[in-house]
Structure 1
Amino acid sequence: MKGLVIALQFLTRLPLPRVTVSNAEFAASMRWFPAAGLTVGAIVCLGAVLGARIDPWLGALVGLVLWVAVTGALHLDGLGDVADASGAAHKLAQGNPERLRAVLADPHVGSFAVVAIGLQLVAKLVLIRTLLVTAPPIALLLVPFAARIGPLAWTRWLPPLHEGLGARFRDAVRPLDLALWSAALLTASWFVPGLLAALLFVPLWAVWLRARFGGISGDGHGAGIEIVESGLLLAAIVGARLI
């Protein structure tokens, strides 16, 4: 369970007891990312459902605020960095992978990042509101869980761009971990069929990252989680409409 605590400390802003962590233990905590996603999902789902008792829009707003607060906007930051690097590519990188990666590593926030983060927040607000009136609320519990299976796959499929967080996780994720969480995803899809869309979104993000950057970094993981979460919210809504 130490791995779960480490994962929660890294992925959330929940007040947890401090634990001494070695490099190997920190890397191995990625195996618990989907479980940390369930914790995020439980908080978001509870807040959204309670708010929706007054009005679905209020429920969506409460859910979104909790989503950002509990994660500390960690993944939104990654989305912004990836958007800046990708959006500036035609101006600065000019097809040069090294220049593109330099833009990705730049800590300054550009206009592309602002637009991407703004659109993501609006998209999630609308999707949460729509989900609250069209699909079972359990989808809000399970979407963050399903999205956080992605990093386990990406870290095995893609080379790290540099010796950062992405590189530290690479050797810690075992095929067994990916298989077990994939089985859990299939089980969860019995309750929310739209979660099966993760089997499409996760590989597509890997393909895009490889084509655009040649590998993955911590920002790529964070951006991927955000993109997959929004995609799965939409898939859950569509799936509920079709059933």
Structure 2
Amino acid sequence: MIASTLRALAFLTRLKPVASAFSGHHRLGADVPAFPLAGLVAAAPSALVLVAATGLGLSPLVGAVLATGLLTALTGALHEDGLADLADGLGGHHGKTRALAIMKDSRIGAYGTLALVLSLALRIALLAGLAEHSAFDAALILLAAAAASRGAMGWLWSSLPSADPGGLADRVGQPDSGEGRRSAAIGAAILLVLASVTVGPFAAALPLVLGILALGQVRKLLQARLGGQTGDGLGAGQQIADLTILLGFAIGAGIT
């Protein structure tokens, strides 16, 4: 699991010390059960920033902006890029071939820009609201969402065929259904454990349900419009699951 987590970190983040652990000859799909642990590691500095900002007397909004910016920097905006690309590709109601071509274009369009702005604004607002309620709880919820959403991404990857043969998600080796289920289960378990330390295990029910429903809709969209998953679709799924989990915790805390 340690080796799998290092490979997952090397692929999902810009953490250079673990980059040597990744080999293109290793099937990354076999490492998806470690995706939730990689999410924990990637989000840990942002969780610390969220708590430290409050300790330094900074507003919860400033702390949320700093935490979001740091997490985006550590992941190289990998999943945000997927969200923007998917929004551009599917926003114009193009057919599969044209949508895939748009998603591969490095330029960002109006749909992608709107998706990024709205998702970042929502994330910052939710984290700021949670931090105003309790910075420590907000930090643990940030970790829980990061772990669970990446576990969900592993399941999404395993549940659909590749819509882009030869694309990144296809080249690195798709997980099988068992690996995908373990990824989702480990992510959900981490969420439940962290929730029990903060708001209680029962309060995790709404975030989990919202995350599952949102991911189910992403899966249906990918299947209907593209006939399967792509790397951009997986990144978008992670972002949407993460946001809906944060939203669920915010609703449960009564701060929206």
In which range does the TM-score fall when normalised by the shorter chain?
A: 0.7 to 0.9
Which residue pairs with 1:56 in the alignment? 60
Q: Distance in 2 between matches of 1:123 and 1:187?
A: 23
1:103-118 alignment to 2 at 5 Å? 103-118=102-117
Which residue pairs with 2:88 in the alignment? 84
Q: Structure 1 pair 61/180, CA: closer, same or farther in 2 (3 Å)? A: closer
Contact kept? 1:146, 1:195, Cα under 8 Å: no
1:210-238 CA distance string (max 9 Å, x none): 12222110000111111111111111111
1:83-120 CA distance string (max 9 Å, x none): 1111222xxx2xx3222222222222112211211111
Matched letter for residue 210 of structure 1: Q
Q: Distance in 2 between matches of 1:36 and 1:227?
A: 18
Which residue pairs with 2:170 in the alignment? 167
Structure 1 vs Structure 2 CA RMSD: 2.2
With the length of structure 2 as denominator, give the TM-score of the two structures. 0.83
**Structure 2 residue 245 is the aligned partner of structure 1 residue 232:** yes
| CA shift for structure 1 position 46 | 0.8
Which residue pairs with 1:8 in the alignment? 9
Gaps of 5+ in 1: none
1:11-48 CA distance string (max 9 Å, x none): 11123142361423434233321110111222221111
| CA shift for structure 1 position 168 | 3.9
Q: Distance in 2 between matches of 1:101 and 1:113?
A: 14
Number of equivalences? 237
Which residue pairs with 1:70 in the alignment? 74
Which residue pairs with 1:120 in the alignment? 119
With the length of structure 1 as denominator, give the TM-score of the two structures. 0.87
Matched letter for residue 170 of structure 2: A
| CA shift for structure 1 position 187 | 5.8
Aligned to 1:21, the other structure's residue is in SS state coil
Q: Structure 1 pair 20/167, CA: closer, same or farther in 2 (3 Å)? A: closer
Percent of residue pairs bearing the same amino acid type? 29
- Aligned to 2:208, which of 185, 196, 200? 196
| CA shift for structure 1 position 189 | 2.3
Aligned to 2:23, the other structure's residue is in SS state coil
Gaps of 5+ in 2: 196-203
